[in-house]
Amino acid sequence: MCNGPLITKMEINVNDILGKQIPQLVALITREITDRKGKKEQWASFKNRHDDALCDILGVDPSWGIQAGSLIGFDIDDERKLILLNYSASAHNLLHEIDGGWTPVLRQMRGLVYAFEVPGRVEGVTLASRGFEKFFNQSELPETSIDVLSAASGNNGLLCTAKEDGHMIEYFMHDRKLCATTRGRLGTPSATAALDMIQRSTFMKAQVVAKRFGKDLMSLVCEFVHPMTRVHVDYGDAKKLFLLEAYDTYGETVGQSVLTAIA
C-alpha cells in the first residue's frame, strides 16, 4: 500500500494545493497518459504502479486500505492540452466513513481544470478553472452538525442554501477562447449548450469588472438550467444561468461585492 509522507488534517494553504501539489499530480498522469485512449487502456495499471505517489499527493493514509487512484477520476483533451480532475464515486461512497477521509486535496478535486504545456512536466501546468470544493449536507459530517454550525455562526446567524437541480457549469478562457465544462467531463452536451448562453465578449466584460476590484478573473461558476438538465425539478422550457461564484487566477473566490458587480 502507501508509503512515504502523508498530508494529514493539518491546516493547509489552498494555494499550495492548487499551485504545487495538484500540478504534481497532473505531471505524474501526463507522463504516461495524454489522451482519452491512453486513459482507457492504461489507467487501471497506472493506479497500481503509482499508488505510493498518489497516496502522497492526495493525502491518503495507508491504514485506510484504499487504493488512492480509485478516489479520483479525470478527463483529458489532448488537442487543447487540458485535464479535468474530479473525485470519484468511490470517494463519495467510502470517505464519509473515515475520520479525515476527505483530505484537503481531495476536497478541492471537484471539477479542477488544468492546462499543461509539456506532458510529464510540472513547469507549464497552470490552473485554468475550478468549481466549488466538496461541500456537505447538514450533519453529513461532524463539521456540519447543527452544534458546530451554530457555534461558527455565533450571533450573526447562518444562511444555508439548497441545491435543487440543473448542472454546475464553469466558464473560463483558454487560448483566447471561451470554454465551458461540467465538473465531471470536458466537452459534454451541457457544456456545448452552455456556450450558447454567454458570449466571449460577456466573459471579458466580467474580467474588466473584476479588475476594477483588483481581481484577475479566471472562471465563473453557474447553475445551468436547460430542458436537457431536468432531473428532479421541472423548469419547463426555461434556459437560464444562475451565477453562483467566481474565482481569480489563484483559485480564490473574488468576494461577494465583486460577484454582485459581475452579476
Distance (Å, rounded) from C-alpha 98 to C-alpha 70? 15
Instruction: Determine whether 255 is exposed, middle or buried from the number of CB atoms within 10 Å of its CB (0-12, 13-18, 19+).
Output: middle
**3-class secondary structure, 75:** strand
pLDDT on residue 4 = 33
Q: What is the pTM of this model?
A: 0.91
pLDDT at 202 over 70: yes
List, for residues 156-189, the tens digit of each pLDDT value: 887 777 777 778 999 999 999 999 999 999 999 9
Percent of the chain with pLDDT over 70: 95
List, for residues 112-127, the tens digit of each pLDDT value: 999 999 999 999 999 9
- The three-point CA angle 225-230-231 to 5° equals 130
CA–CA distance from 140 to each of 25, 63, 143, 168 (Å)?
Answer: 28, 23, 8, 21
The partner residues of 240 in beta bridges, in order of sequence, read 225
Crossing angle for the helix pair 36-49 and 51-58, to the nearest 10 degrees: 90
